[in-house]
Amino acid sequence: MAMASRDQWSGRMGFIFAAAGSAIGLGNIWRFPYTAGESGGGAFVLLYLFFVAVIGIPVVLSELAIGRTTQRNPVGAFKALVPGSLWPYVGGLGVLTGFGILAFYAVIAGWTLSYLYGALTGVYGGVLDGEQSLALFTELISDPTMPIVLSGIFIVLTIIVVRGGVSKGIERVTKVLMPLLLVILVILAIRSVTLPGGVDGLVYLFKPDFSKITISVVMSALGQALFSLSLGMGAMITYGSYFPDKENLPSAGITVAFFDTAIAILAGLIIFPALFSVGVEPGAGPGLVFVVLPSIFGSLPAGQLFAIAFYALLAIAALTSTISLLEVVVSYFVDEKGWSRNKSAWVLGGLCFVLAVPSALASGASPMFTDFLGTGVDFLTLNNNIWGNYSLSIGAISLCIFVGYKWGVPNALASLEASGHKLPAPALFGFLVRYVCPAAVGAVLIYVIVTGNYF
Ligand code: PHE
């Protein structure tokens, strides 16, 4: 079924870096710590790890298997496997989710650009206490124009990479920058855990208090596992579709999941000790990392350099994720609607920018979006929940049902093992895909609907 002209990763490592680039992003460094902080710490972290293992890994492998076999975008992939059925709508939901996530993700990514600028001009070089740092953050996010401009810049950067095609560009960039990001994170984590009072942060992060578990916490942990691994909306179908035939796909998929999870935990090791040390509340919400981190740079030797490197890498980590979000949408319009790559990237990226405006105004600039329709929830958080938790969960359960009962686990295994490299524990994979994933995700979704605890 291979189409000769299709682009491919240069090899297994090329895929690993690009897919890790998609997975590792603001989800690890911004979303994971603040969600863990809002959800009570250790118990949330345990649940998150549980979902990565029993839902995340089987779904990564399922998406990659579909991508490799069909060599198509998410909608085209289902069309190729089950023509004339309703399954392509699952791919369609993925494309829609790509828009939904990009539209709020670009706003946060825009904030990182402002912090990079601040680091370059020395704002975070001196010691800032929690209050000063919060004041700077609030000033930025409640500004009526800056967040819009910054998210626009970020979307344009994303468009420029995506319109040029992915493989060579992203692959080359991510190969150098992802390891560098890892080194900076390790150094920051060491600094953070040795801060006075830092140990309390470790206790908060790792000591589970099961009384904190509610259905919303379970839902957030499930959503976070999927969001962080870029699952449930076809990004891994798309990236798997560029996987070279002779390479080891099972090990590449598992490696990506491992690194993504390790980097989330590392981000936790940076944020929680620092936040206990400067006295910021763990439940501070989406601003958490932006408020806490500036206060540790000042206490590091060469703090300004650290701040510059950190925000530059964070912006790049975000960019390699937004690229994959836009790529899903673009590949659909290129393959299925016959649009040129250039037109798709600009038109769809432009649409995302328009959709991003309400989220950019949702942190104080516009009362309507800050308390959206009187729900008490701001528009950005609402989108983060709807697309980043619910839509991905619906996508993941649909995918497992598809692989488990329609396409069949043997076909998925044959695709994963096409190069002759075996998947360890294939029976476990089949069991998780057929029974555990549909039952667990289904139970969480039904429970949430029945109890009405949406957030
Ligand atoms: N996984 C990315 C992150 O952690 C976000 C993302 C979600 C990217 C879904 C693609 C698809 O930042």
Q: In a 3-state reduction of DSSP, which class is residue 166? A: coil
* 23-42 mean pLDDT: 95
Record the tokens describing residue 402, joined without a space. Answer: 């598809």
Give the mean pLDDT of the chain.
Answer: 92
pLDDT-wise least confident of 58-62, 140-144, 219-223, 278-282:
278-282
Question: Could you tell me the distance, in angstroms and rounded to a whole number, from the CA of residue 122 to the centre of ligand 1?
Answer: 30
Ligand 1 pocket mutation, candidates 22, 320, 387, 391, criterion most atoms within 8 A of CB = 22
Question: Could you tell me the distance, in angstroms and rounded to a whole number, from the CA of residue 216 to the centre of ligand 1?
Answer: 21
Confidence of residue 84 (pLDDT cuts 50, 70, 90): very high
Ligand 1 pocket mutation, candidates 321, 323, 330, 352, criterion most atoms within 8 A of CB = 321
Write the residue with the smallest CA distance to atom 2 of ligand 1.
23
Question: Could you tell me the distance, in angstroms and rounded to a whole number, from the CA of residue 334 to the centre of ligand 1?
Answer: 22
Return left, alpha or beta for 373; rule: phi > 0 is left, psi -120 to 50 is alpha, else beta: left
- Does residue 112 contact residue 315 with C-beta atoms inside 8 Å? yes
Tell me, using a 6 A CB cutoff, whether residue 322 lines ligand 1: no
**Burial class for 407, CB neighbours closer than 10 Å (0-12, 13-18, 19+):** buried
Whole-number pLDDT of residue 61: 98
Tell me, using a 6 A CB cutoff, whether residue 37 lines ligand 1: no
Confidence of residue 452 (pLDDT cuts 50, 70, 90): confident
Whole-number pLDDT of residue 391: 96
* 287-293 mean pLDDT: 89
Q: Which residue has the higher pLDDT, 180 or 407?
A: 407
Whole-number pLDDT of residue 169: 66
Residue 166 has pLDDT above 80, yes or no: no
Whole-number pLDDT of residue 4: 41
Whole-number pLDDT of residue 1: 40
Tell me, using a 6 A CB cutoff, whether residue 321 lines ligand 1: yes
Residue 76 has pLDDT above 90, yes or no: yes
- Does residue 233 contact residue 98 with C-beta atoms inside 8 Å? yes
> What share of the chain in percent tops pLDDT 90?
73
Confidence of residue 126 (pLDDT cuts 50, 70, 90): low
Return left, alpha or beta for 122; rule: phi > 0 is left, psi -120 to 50 is alpha, else beta: left
Write the residue with the smallest CA distance to atom 11 of ligand 1.
230
- Does residue 412 contact residue 65 with C-beta atoms inside 8 Å? yes
Residue 434 has pLDDT above 90, yes or no: yes
Closest CA to 355 of 97, 93, 35: 97
Structural domains present in the chain: 12-451 (1.10.4160)
Residue 276 has pLDDT above 60, yes or no: yes
CA 51 to chain CA centroid, nearest Å:
15
Question: Could you tell me the distance, in angstroms and rounded to a whole number, from the CA of residue 392 to the centre of ligand 1?
Answer: 11
**Burial class for 436, CB neighbours closer than 10 Å (0-12, 13-18, 19+):** middle
Question: Could you tell me the distance, in angstroms and rounded to a whole number, from the CA of residue 145 to the centre of ligand 1?
Answer: 26
Tell me, using a 6 A CB cutoff, whether residue 158 lines ligand 1: no
Per-residue buried b or exposed e for 283-307, using 16+ beta carbons within 10 Å of the residue's own CB: ebebbbbbbbbbbbbbbbeebbebb
d(CA 343, CA 288): 37
Residue 374 has pLDDT above 90, yes or no: no
Whole-number pLDDT of residue 164: 82
Whole-number pLDDT of residue 278: 81
